[in-house]
């Protein structure tokens, strides 16, 4: 019987299926898929085929597995191709060994596969939609809460200033300034997130000389308001990139705000732009005191907040990296132990005019 053939040749079938998955060009296989997912697929078939109604049992099992795949980060394409690879491995081995499997059993096997794929994909999609809706609602709720706090503080500060009882140079005016900047940063972050998720790109040829000057104006004001010093190195004319200006600006501003937030009081932040023949490098160095060992990549995780200051959504650096990658660059961080961090943006340089 088919389930006996599958049980007796389980190791060989798994090895063949793993080889097929590992050789796949797209979607790229993961270690979890090769080592964990494939044996589960096969064991589902063996258990289901032992029952009197294998297709319905397989569909139910595949539905559960579709939910599990979402939890470990598998894609729909991986689900479909892994089931298909398993089918090919079983068919090839049965043919090579002249296994005594009837045509009816092969039909049942293929029917199980079809229903399993359909059920797994259906459940995966349903779970994914629920997950996206839940994430979207949570994110919108957090954004609304943060905006309400920032605007509420700004309105109270404005009302106090309007009464004439305090001056424009005092702490109330500073609170108004901080609150408005906070609201502006939240809106910029939300806009960048929407552009990333929608896939909207508006590329243009951008002079780094002009771009850096524009960033310096607002960044210098913010640094001064926080009692910090900002140094921006001059950029030679003729250094250009071709990018979505809004995504680049949002990422660089996020990196500067992060540097201002974590730099020690009365500290120093540096923005440097340099270029090689084919790359442009934007480096932002702060004086945060350095990072604990092994913590660099954690900075880019969504909803990660690395200090006791819990303001914000913890999305700034995550969105910055995604924005830079979306315009063809990369974002890295280098730790200077005991001193600070250097965030480096690398972008393709637009060839100079001849």
Task: Count up the domains in the chain and report the number.
Answer: 2
Whole-number CA gyration radius for the chain: 28
Closest CA to 116 of 30, 16, 27, 40: 40
Contact 250, 216 (CB under 8 A): no
Give pLDDT, residue 287. Answer: 94
Instruction: State the chain's mean pLDDT as an integer.
Output: 75
Domain final residue, candidates 97, 132, 167: 132
pLDDT at 24 over 90: no
Contact 231, 247 (CB under 8 A): no
Whether 29 is in a domain gets the answer yes
Give pLDDT, residue 283. Answer: 96
Please state, in angstroms and rounded to a whole number, the distance separating the CA atoms of residues 120 and 65. 7
Whether 126 is in a domain gets the answer yes
pLDDT at 145 over 60: no
Same domain, 221 and 96: no
Whether 195 is in a domain gets the answer no
CATH code of the domain containing 93: 1.10.490.70
Whether 115 is in a domain gets the answer yes
According to the per-residue pLDDT averaged within each range, which of 24-38, 101-115, 326-340 is highest? Answer: 326-340
Same domain, 228 and 343: yes
- For residue 191, what are its two tokens? 């806009």
Domain final residue, candidates 132, 148, 183: 132
Same domain, 121 and 207: no
End-to-end CA distance of the chain: 74
Q: Which structural domain, as residue segments, surrounds residue 100?
A: 2-132
Strands (E) across the chain are located at 203-207, 229-232, 240-244, 268-275, 279-285, 330-336, 340-348
- For residue 142, what are its two tokens? 């957090």
Same domain, 15 and 127: yes
Whether 99 is in a domain gets the answer yes
pLDDT at 166 over 50: yes
* pLDDT per position as a tens digit, 234-245: 998 889 999 888
| 303 phi/psi in degrees, rounded to 5 | 65, 15
Same domain, 228 and 338: yes
Whether 188 is in a domain gets the answer no
Confidence of residue 303 (pLDDT cuts 50, 70, 90): very low
Residue bearing the bigger pLDDT, 219 or 133: 219
Residue bearing the bigger pLDDT, 26 or 219: 219
pLDDT at 206 over 70: yes
Whether 56 is in a domain gets the answer yes
DSSP 221-247: HHHHHTT-EEEE----TT-EEEEEHHH
Same domain, 19 and 107: yes
CATH code of the domain containing 292: 3.30.565.10
Give pLDDT, residue 343. Answer: 93
Confidence of residue 132 (pLDDT cuts 50, 70, 90): low
Indicate the SS3 state at residue 77.
Answer: helix
Instruction: Characterize the bridge pairing of strands 229-232 and 268-275.
Output: parallel
Same domain, 120 and 221: no
Cβ-count burial 222-242 (b if 16+ within 10 Å, e if not)? bbeebebebebeebeeebbbe
To the nearest 10°, report the CA torsion of 294, 297, 302, 304.
30
Whether 271 is in a domain gets the answer yes
Structure letter (DSSP) for residue 122: H
Evaluate the omega torsion of the peptide bond into residue 27 and state whether it is cis, within 30 degrees of 0: yes
Residue bearing the bigger pLDDT, 140 or 242: 242
Domain final residue, candidates 85, 103, 132: 132
């Amino acid at each position: 019987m088919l389930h006996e053939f599958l049980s007796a040749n389980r190791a060989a079938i798994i090895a063949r299926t793993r080889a097929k998955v590992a050789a796949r060009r797209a979607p790229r296989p993961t270690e979890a898929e090769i080592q964990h997912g494939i044996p589960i697929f096969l064991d589902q078939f063996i258990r289901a085929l032992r029952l009197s109604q294998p297709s319905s049992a397989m569909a139910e099992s595949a539905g559960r597995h579709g939910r599990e795949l979402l939890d470990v980060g598998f894609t729909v394409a991986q689900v479909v191709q892994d089931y298909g690879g398993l089918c090919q491995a079983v068919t090839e081995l049965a043919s090579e060994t002249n296994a005594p499997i009837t045509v009816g059993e092969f039909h049942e096997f293929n029917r199980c596969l079809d229903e399993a794929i359909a059920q797994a994909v259906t459940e995966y999609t349903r779970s994914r939609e629920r997950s996206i809706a839940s994430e979207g609602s949570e994110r919108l709720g957090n954004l609304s809460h943060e905006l309400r706090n920032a605007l509420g503080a700004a309105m109270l500060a404005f009302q106090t200033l309007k009464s004439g009882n305090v001056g424009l140079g005092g702490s109330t005016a500073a609170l108004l300034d901080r609150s408005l900047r906070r609201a502006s940063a939240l809106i910029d972050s939300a806009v960048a997130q929407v552009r990333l998720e929608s896939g909207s790109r508006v590329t243009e040829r951008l002079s780094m000389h002009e771009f850096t000057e524009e960033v310096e104006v607002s960044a210098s004001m913010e640094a001064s308001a926080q009692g910090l010093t900002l140094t921006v190195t001059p950029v030679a004319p003729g250094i250009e990139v071709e990018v979505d200006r809004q995504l680049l600006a949002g990422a660089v501003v996020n990196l500067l705000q992060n540097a201002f937030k974590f730099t020690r009081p009365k500290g120093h932040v540096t923005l440097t732009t340099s270029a090689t023949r084919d790359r442009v490098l934007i480096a932002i160095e702060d004086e945060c005191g350095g990072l604990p060992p092994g913590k660099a990549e954690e900075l880019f995780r969504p909803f990660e907040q690395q200090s006791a200051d819990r303001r914000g959504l913890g999305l700034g650096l995550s969105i910055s990296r995604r924005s830079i990658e979306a315009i063809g660059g990369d974002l890295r961080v280098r730790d200077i132990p005991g001193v600070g961090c250097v965030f480096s943006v690398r972008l393709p340089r637009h060839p100079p005019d001849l």
